[in-house]
Amino acid sequence: MKTRRPMASLSASVLLAAGLVAGTAGPAFAVPTGCSHRTYYQGVDRYAESTCSGGTGQHRIQVIQQHHLAGPIPSQGPWQPVGTPSTTWIPGYPIVTVYVATQ
């Protein structure tokens, strides 16, 4: 009987600690909204740009291109706050995908 009491007490302590951790709310994460992207030429150079019009947090443009020998070529712009465009220069290879990353 004496060995069961410490185990029951230990089990109750572990369950209580787990309940406290599970019941703690994590931080709220807000992300940008109204995001869009575009590609454009400025002279002979090609760029990709993302913009977000609402929310909070940051965004950046992400581009994957395909080189016929080297394979996928990833490009990304800098993280920017809502309202500021994220822009990156992209080479003239075919574009596989363009998207806006948010955090």
DSSP string over 61-74? EEEEEEETTTEEEE
Residue 51 placed within a domain: yes
The predicted structure's pLDDT at residue 10 = 43
pLDDT digits (tens, 9 = 90+) for 28-54: 567 999 999 999 999 999 999 999 999
Range of the domain at 98: 32-102
Residue 24 placed within a domain: no
Mean pLDDT lowest for which of 19-23, 71-75, 86-90? Answer: 19-23
Residue 12 placed within a domain: no
- Residue 24's pLDDT band (cuts 50, 70, 90): very low
Domain count within the chain: 1
Residue 10 placed within a domain: no
The predicted structure's pLDDT at residue 65 = 97
Residue 82 placed within a domain: yes
